[in-house]
């Protein structure tokens, strides 16, 4: 059974079919790409997978669990985490605190415990600090734990956002245009980071991306969306040579 299985997924906005009969299967530990021109419906698919939007019809299964109708927070607890095209860090919080935010389900304590600094508060905070520092160390950022996240270079902000997503202990990581705004050197480093995350955390990754060098360099399979419908799907190199895919990107 595929880790992620999507069948007949559809949603309309004001009579416009934004996603139409979308299908997807991703195996565990696979690195999969979702591509298409601007406005093709890619981020809408991510919003459907994470419960931001409720589909008009269709099925979304993660490890056999039906996610349709679940809240975003519940879907995250089932095992889907995501990053965003526009980086969404807490800029005035430290690098360490940004990662700790992703750990709040794993190390819970009550508001009462936090206000009065009871022993469980100190125990949980110590454990979260240690776990967050471990994650930052994996990304070579432990020495920047006390920096404000807004003061990090752009590429490191991307890494921090991935680290925070991984702190939720996901089965599936969704990356929404992770290379957006990056120069070629930063993109190359990002490719290495994505491969590292897949191997180090035994992670399954689905990414949206416009940088075809990145897509062809790391994605084993891809699906191409155009006007909300699947245009092509399969092995990356084969799909990227598809005349209809080339036409959708470049025009006649």
DSSP output for 51-72: TSS--SEEEEEETTEE-TT--H
Query: Could you report the per-residue pLDDT of 152-198, keeping only the tens digit for each?
Result: 999 999 999 999 999 999 999 999 999 998 899 999 999 999 999 99
Range of the domain at 24: 1-79+170-252
Cβ burial, residue 25 (10 Å; 0-12/13-18/19+): middle
pLDDT at 130: 92
Strands 204-208 and 31-35 come out as parallel
Q: Is the pLDDT confidence value at 120 over 90? A: no
Q: How confident is the model at residue 250 (pLDDT cuts 50, 70, 90)?
A: low
Please give the average per-residue pLDDT across 218-243, as a whole number.
96
Domain end position, chosen among 116, 134, 167: 167
CA distance 94 to 150: 9
Residue 3 in 3-state DSSP?
coil
28 lies in the same domain as 64 = yes
Q: Give CA separation, 108 vs 73, 114, 123, 217, in Å.
A: 15, 10, 10, 40
Q: How confident is the model at residue 252 (pLDDT cuts 50, 70, 90)?
A: low
19 lies in the same domain as 143 = no
Query: Could you report the per-residue pLDDT of 79-110, keeping only the tens digit for each?
Result: 999 999 888 898 899 999 999 998 887 777 77
In a domain, 183, yes or no: yes
Please give the average per-residue pLDDT across 136-148, as a whole number.
95
252 lies in the same domain as 175 = yes
146 lies in the same domain as 188 = no
Q: How confident is the model at residue 227 (pLDDT cuts 50, 70, 90)?
A: very high
205 lies in the same domain as 142 = no
> H helices within the chain, ranges in order?
42-49, 72-78, 95-101, 111-115, 119-138, 154-166, 184-200, 212-218, 236-240, 243-250
Total domains in the fold of the chain: 2
- The answer to whether the Cα torsion of 19, 25, 27, 30 is positive or negative is negative
pLDDT at 1: 75
Averaged confidence pLDDT in the chain: 93
Domain end position, chosen among 120, 151, 167: 167
pTM: 0.92
104 lies in the same domain as 64 = no
pLDDT at 2: 94
The percent of residues above 70 in pLDDT, for the chain, comes to 98
CA distance 22 to 230: 7
Please give the average per-residue pLDDT across 200-205, as a whole number.
96
Q: Is the pLDDT confidence value at 134 over 90? A: yes
Query: Could you report the per-residue pLDDT of 2-38, keeping only the tens digit for each?
Result: 999 999 999 999 989 999 999 999 999 999 999 999 9
> H helices within 79-183, ranges in order?
95-101, 111-115, 119-138, 154-166
140 lies in the same domain as 188 = no
129 lies in the same domain as 196 = no
């Amino acid at each position: 059974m595929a880790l992620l299985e999507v069948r007949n997924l559809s949603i309309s906005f004001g009579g416009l079919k934004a996603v139409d009969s979308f299908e997807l299967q991703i195996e565990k530990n696979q690195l999969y790409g979702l591509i298409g021109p601007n406005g093709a419906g890619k981020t809408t698919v991510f919003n459907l997978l994470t419960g931001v939007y409720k589909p008009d019809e269709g099925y979304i299964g993660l490890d056999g669990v039906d996610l349709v109708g679940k809240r975003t927070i519940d879907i995250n607890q089932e095992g889907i985490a995501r990053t965003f095209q526009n980086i969404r860090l807490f800029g005035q919080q430290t690098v360490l605190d940004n990662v700790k935010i992703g750990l709040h389900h794993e190390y819970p304590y009550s508001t009462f415990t936090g206000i009065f600094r009871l022993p469980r508060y100190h125990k949980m905070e110590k454990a979260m600090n240690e776990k967050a520092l471990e994650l930052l160390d994996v990304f070579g950022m432990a020495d920047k734990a006390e920096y404000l996240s807004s003061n990090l270079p752009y590429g490191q902000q991307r890494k921090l956002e991935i680290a925070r997503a991984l702190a939720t202990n996901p089965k599936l990581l969704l990356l929404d245009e992770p290379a957006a705004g990056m120069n070629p050197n930063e993109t190359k480093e990002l490719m290495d980071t994505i491969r590292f995350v897949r191997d180090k955390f035994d992670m399954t990754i689905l990414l949206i991306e416009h940088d075809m060098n990145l897509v062809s360099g790391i994605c084993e399979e891809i699906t191409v969306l155009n006007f909300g419908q699947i245009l092509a799907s399969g092995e990356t190199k084969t799909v990227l040579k598809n005349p209809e895919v080339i036409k959708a990107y470049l025009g006649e």
